[in-house]
Amino acid sequence: MTEDAKQAIRNKLPDEDVIYSLAELFKMFGDPTRAKILECLQIKDLYVGEIAEILEMSISAVSHQLRVLRSAKLVKGTKEGKEVKYSLDDDHVTKILEYGLTHVNE
């Protein structure tokens, strides 16, 4: 491969900050507990206690993971009375989950 061809590829790569952010995003999916929470929320919007019951985990453990997922903008919470109902942040998260499952099930 010529140096010009290599440089042409380098020029098309995203900036380092973007690559770092992408790697951080995929780390969120690298934790089995977070993946389970995301899969639950893909099926139905849920309260923390409901997620904890479904996954047979403590509320504090689920709350911790939801904070991590919120900081990554993968889930959002909507206040309903004294509780917060969680959902996937947007359709992009659904698509990432669907593509990931399709890939691992091939």
Tell me the pLDDT tens digit for each residue of 54-86.
Answer: 999 999 999 999 999 999 999 999 999 999 999
The tens digit of pLDDT for each residue in 2-57 reads 999 999 999 999 999 999 999 999 999 999 999 999 999 999 999 999 999 999 99
State the chain's mean pLDDT as an integer. Answer: 95
pLDDT for residue 54? 98
Pick from 77, 78, 73, 79: which is nearest to 93 by CA?
A: 73
The rounded distance, in Å, linking the Cα atoms of 31 and 36 is: 9
